[in-house]
């Protein structure tokens, strides 16, 4: 049963009571049900070819992101200076630091895995783009975190990075030496930006499904997003024909 | 992108399916990552080297503090000569013909003589000698000020930076002013004065004290001892033996090689390079040639080895 077939199971038009309500709310509801059907969002089966440890790193990245958010939230309760004077605070700072290190490590492995799968194939380019921008946004979030540590490291990073930011005009409105501004970016703007991208990324993965294997042929072909090359179509068609 | 080729994309579930519990997998991953993070935090902790204050700097290296204060007073410090966004002393860096810093303009005006020396001296309770020294300096012509500061700078060089060993000369009120500023700094009041110069009680902008610190060599020496200097792969490192921002390796890499490390526009060049690379990274799916690399590198055969094994077993390609 295909994803689309499965989605069709919950199409309003096929239910016993068609959703024909008028208004914006009903229209949004119909659109959400059509685009993001529950059994596609939370599947209890997955394609057979999803059988490698590399697939684990996507969910590990997501898990680490939640630990980062949770440990950061605990640090936020008593403010940015708390961890310098409290053993418990210092532990949560350590937890925040190491979960960030894990988050970035898992994300990089996930990224390389998706690159080698040419995972942008089959109208999945936007999935790649949201993931790539989330990675860049995560670097910015971590950078502002290092700036708000309130120690020698943050002092040095601030005075060093100002030159690069000033050189391209960004420093005129984004100053790494402005602790208050960096803290707001670190705990509000950038996490929201990355969080929204992560949610969109996951929804796109669920909606399009996991990218199918590359055709096992030695003939080079473009892995163009949204298309199947001639060689690719041949091979994929051959493979598809063999599926039940 | 044609409709025909889109339609040719195989449905993931047409390759067969197997049972999968997404929520269970995520829960296990969350518990595992949380446990691993707790273990790493408990075993390795995290670094927290105390920040430098103006007071610790003035106490630890009064010669460096005095030389820096003199450079702020006579307009020869790094900040005084910086350009946008702090002043118009220079044009700022350029990326090719484009001076982005100059285009953005001066958004955080800083007059180093006023902000780092004269205003802090005026805002503190001073002896009559210091007050009259400040008044005499500010009333003098620019040429006279330059003569005093130039003479004092030369004398400091000859005395190896030690103000107590300076030979008598025509320094005007400069030694009195800098001695008073050093005393304020050592007492700790200059830290607070630099933060509240804008006249507000609540303050979170550390631009002034950090620029003052950065103009001296004390902070840079401490950073060098902790392998944080630009030539030591700079800010991707962390104090002590911690991994730091390892993901900045490519950005930091450019600062280690020519022409980036010897260009007066090095920062702008690095940002330009990284901007291009970031765009390539984000829009990789649309770049012919690059998007085909995965087909030439057989990592995918490893990832989908079970699928290909099944396919061969059933007589497929």
* Domains of chain A, residue spans: 48-106, 118-209
Question: Cβ distance B266 to A14 under 8 Å?
Answer: no
The helix (H) or strand (E) run that includes residue A47 is strand A45-47
pLDDT above 80 (res A232): no
Tell me, yes or no, whether B211 and B243 share the same domain: no
**Cβ within 8 Å, pair B8-A175:** no
Shortest CA distance to B209 belongs to which of B107, B49, B57, B47? B57
> What are the residues facing A45 on neighbouring strands?
B19
**Cβ within 8 Å, pair B219-A240:** no
pLDDT above 50 (res A199): yes
- Ranges in chain B, pLDDT < 70: 1-9, 316-317
Tell me, yes or no, whether B219 and B230 share the same domain: no
pLDDT at B308: 93
Distance, in Å, from the CA atom of B113 to the CA atom of B178, rounded to the nearest integer, reads 12
pLDDT at A38: 86
B60/chain A closest Cα distance in angstroms: 16
Distance, in Å, from the CA atom of B1 to the CA atom of A224, rounded to the nearest integer, reads 9
pLDDT at B163: 83
Tell me, yes or no, whether B76 and B163 share the same domain: yes
Tell me, yes or no, whether B163 and B256 share the same domain: no
Tell me, yes or no, whether B198 and B157 share the same domain: yes
Contacts A172 to B, Cβ<8 Å? 84-85, 101, 104-105, 107-108
Distance, in Å, from the CA atom of B264 to the CA atom of B287, rounded to the nearest integer, reads 33
Shortest CA distance to A42 belongs to which of B72, B212, B26? B26
Shortest CA distance to B14 belongs to which of A59, A48, A125, A40? A48
C-alpha B57, offset from chain centre = 19
| pLDDT more than 70, % of chain A | 81
**Cβ within 8 Å, pair A132-B207:** no
Nearest C-alpha in A relative to B268: A167
Burial A24-48 (b: 16+ CB within 10 A, else e): eeeeeebeebeeebeebeebebbbb
Contacts B317 to A, Cβ<8 Å? 215-217, 235, 238-239
Nearest C-alpha in A relative to B82: A163
Contacts A128 to B, Cβ<8 Å? 284-285
Its sign, for the CA torsion A160, A163, A168, A174, is positive
Contacts A110 to B, Cβ<8 Å? none
pLDDT above 70 (res A17): no
**Cβ within 8 Å, pair B30-A66:** yes
Tell me, yes or no, whether B63 and B147 share the same domain: yes
Closest CB to B17 among A48, A122, A143: A48
**Cβ within 8 Å, pair B285-A128:** yes
Could you tell me if A197 lies within 8 Å of chain B, comparing CB atoms? no
With respect to residue B8, please indicate whether it lies within any of the assigned structural domains: no
The pLDDT tens digits of the residues spanning A74-108 come to 999 999 999 999 999 999 999 999 999 999 999 99
The pLDDT tens digits of the residues spanning A60-71 come to 999 999 999 999
Tell me, yes or no, whether B205 and B268 share the same domain: no
Q: Three-state DSSP class for A178?
A: strand
State which residues form the domain around B231: 226-282
Distance, in Å, from the CA atom of A189 to the CA atom of A143, rounded to the nearest integer, reads 13
Contacts A47 to B, Cβ<8 Å? 12-13, 15-17
> What are the residues facing B19 on neighbouring strands?
A45
With respect to residue B287, please indicate whether it lies within any of the assigned structural domains: no
Question: Cβ distance A64 to A133 under 8 Å?
Answer: no
CA gyration radius, chain A? 23
Closest CB to B210 among A50, A177, A239: A177
Closest CB to B286 among A54, A167, A225: A225
C-alpha B308, offset from chain centre = 49
Could you report the predicted ipTM of this complex, rounded to two decimals? 0.92
Question: Cβ distance A8 to A1 under 8 Å?
Answer: no
pLDDT at A229: 45
Closest CB to A120 among B230, B285, B296: B285
Distance, in Å, from the CA atom of B52 to the CA atom of A3, rounded to the nearest integer, reads 59
Q: A residues 139-178 near B, CB within 8 Å?
A: 139, 142-143, 146, 149-161, 163-164, 166-169, 171-173, 175, 177-178
CA separation, residue B44 to residues A145, B50, B242 (Å): 19, 18, 9
| pLDDT more than 90, % of chain A | 73
**Cβ within 8 Å, pair B9-A129:** no
Nearest C-alpha in B relative to A119: B285
Nearest C-alpha in A relative to B40: A98
Distance, in Å, from the CA atom of B275 to the CA atom of B281, rounded to the nearest integer, reads 10
Its sign, for the CA torsion B39, B44, B50, B51, is negative
Tell me, yes or no, whether B186 and B144 share the same domain: yes
pLDDT above 60 (res A5): no
pLDDT at A244: 24
pLDDT above 70 (res A39): yes
Tell me, yes or no, whether B189 and B270 share the same domain: no
With respect to residue B315, please indicate whether it lies within any of the assigned structural domains: no
**Cβ within 8 Å, pair B6-A104:** no
Average pLDDT value over all residues in chain A: 86
Contacts A122 to B, Cβ<8 Å? 9-10
Closest CB to A2 among B14, B30, B219: B14
Cβ neighbour number for residue A20 with a 10 Å cutoff: 9
Domain end, chosen from B185, B207, B223, is at B223
Tell me, yes or no, whether B168 and B125 share the same domain: yes
The pLDDT tens digits of the residues spanning A127-183 come to 999 999 999 999 999 999 999 999 999 999 999 999 999 999 999 999 999 999 999
Could you tell me if A133 lies within 8 Å of chain B, comparing CB atoms? yes
Helix residue spans in chain B (DSSP H)? 3-7, 22-44, 54-60, 62-74, 100-104, 112, 119-123, 128-139, 142-158, 174-187, 189-195, 207-215, 218-225, 249-254, 266-282, 293-296, 299-303, 305-313
pLDDT above 50 (res A239): no
Shortest CA distance to B234 belongs to which of A162, A99, A97? A162
With respect to residue B60, please indicate whether it lies within any of the assigned structural domains: yes
Closest CB to B48 among A3, A151, A172: A151
The helix (H) or strand (E) run that includes residue A204 is helix A190-208
Angle between helices B207-215 and B62-74 (to 10 degrees): 110
State the total domains in chain B.
2
Burial of A224 (0-12, 13-18, 19+ CB in 10 A): buried
A89 contacts: CB under 8 Å, gap ≥ 6: A75, A78, A82, A83
Contacts A175 to B, Cβ<8 Å? 108, 205, 207
Tell me, yes or no, whether B84 and B139 share the same domain: yes
Shortest CA distance to A211 belongs to which of A243, A230, A236? A236
Cβ neighbour number for residue B236 with a 10 Å cutoff: 20
Tell me, yes or no, whether B181 and B193 share the same domain: yes
> What are the residues facing B18 on neighbouring strands?
A46
With respect to residue B215, please indicate whether it lies within any of the assigned structural domains: yes
Contacts A91 to B, Cβ<8 Å? 41-42, 45
CA separation, residue A148 to residues A180, A184, B17, B73, B153 (Å): 9, 10, 47, 30, 36
Q: Three-state DSSP class for A84?
A: helix
**Cβ within 8 Å, pair A153-B205:** no
Distance, in Å, from the CA atom of B285 to the CA atom of B126, rounded to the nearest integer, reads 67
> What are the residues facing A46 on neighbouring strands?
B18
């Amino acid at each position: 049963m295909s994803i689309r077939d499965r989605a069709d199971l919950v199409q309003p038009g096929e239910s016993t009571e068609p959703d024909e309500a008028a208004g914006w709310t009903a229209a949004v509801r119909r659109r959400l049900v059509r685009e993001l059907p529950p059994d596609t969002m939370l599947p209890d089966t997955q394609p057979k070819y999803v059988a490698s440890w590399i697939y684990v790193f996507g969910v590990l990245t997501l898990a680490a992101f939640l630990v980062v958010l949770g440990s950061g939230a605990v640090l936020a309760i008593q403010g940015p200076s708390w961890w310098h004077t409290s053993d418990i605070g210092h532990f949560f700072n350590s937890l925040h630091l190491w979960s960030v290190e894990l988050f970035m490590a898992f994300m990089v492995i996930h990224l390389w895995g998706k690159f080698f799968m040419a995972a942008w194939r089959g109208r999945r380019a936007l999935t790649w783009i949201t993931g790539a921008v989330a990675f860049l946004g995560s670097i910015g979030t971590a950078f502002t975190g290092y700036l708000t540590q309130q120690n020698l490291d943050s002092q040095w990073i601030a005075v060093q990075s100002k030159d690069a930011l000033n050189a391209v005009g960004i420093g005129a409105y984004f100053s790494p030496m402005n602790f208050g501004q960096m803290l707001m970016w670190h705990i509000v703007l950038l996490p929201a930006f990355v969080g929204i991208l992560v949610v969109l990324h996951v929804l796109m993965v669920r909606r399009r499904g996991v990218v199918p294997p590359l055709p096992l042929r030695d003939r080079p072909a473009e892995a163009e997003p949204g298309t199947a090359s001639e060689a690719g179509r041949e091979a994929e068609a051959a493979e598809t024909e063999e599926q039940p | 992108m044609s409709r025909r080729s889109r339609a040719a994309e195989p449905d993931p579930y047409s390759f067969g399916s197997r049972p999968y519990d997404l929520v269970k997998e995520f829960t296990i991953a969350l518990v595992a990552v949380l446990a691993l993070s707790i273990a790493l935090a408990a075993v390795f902790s995290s670094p927290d080297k105390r920040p430098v204050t103006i007071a610790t700097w003035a106490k630890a290296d009064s010669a460096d503090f005095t030389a820096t204060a003199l450079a702020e007073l006579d307009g020869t410090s790094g900040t005084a000569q910086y350009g946008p966004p702090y002043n118009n002393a220079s044009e700022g860096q350029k990326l090719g013909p484009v001076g982005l810093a100059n285009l953005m303009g001066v958004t955080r005006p800083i007059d180093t003589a006023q902000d780092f020396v004269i205003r802090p001296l005026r805002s503190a309770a001073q002896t009559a000698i210091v007050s009259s020294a400040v008044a005499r300096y500010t009333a003098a012509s620019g040429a006279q000020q330059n003569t005093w500061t130039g003479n004092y700078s030369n004398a400091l060089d000859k005395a190896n930076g030690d103000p107590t060993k300076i030979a008598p000369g025509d320094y005007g009120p400069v030694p009195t002013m800098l001695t008073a500023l050093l005393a304020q700094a050592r007492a700790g009041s200059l830290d607070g004065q630099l933060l509240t110069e804008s006249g507000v009680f609540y303050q979170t902008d550390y631009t002034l004290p950090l620029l003052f610190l950065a103009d001296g060599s004390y902070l840079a020496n401490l950073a060098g001892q902790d392998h944080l200097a630009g030539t030591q792969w700079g800010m991707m490192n962390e104090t002590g033996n911690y991994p730091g921002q390892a993901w900045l390796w490519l950005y930091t890499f450019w600062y280690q090689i020519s022409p980036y490390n010897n260009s007066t526009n090095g920062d702008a060049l690095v940002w330009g390079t990284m901007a291009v690379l970031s765009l390539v990274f984000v829009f990789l799916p649309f770049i012919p040639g690059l998007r085909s690399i995965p087909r030439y590198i057989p990592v995918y055969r490893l990832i989908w080895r079970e699928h290909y094994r099944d396919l061969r077993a059933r007589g497929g390609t």
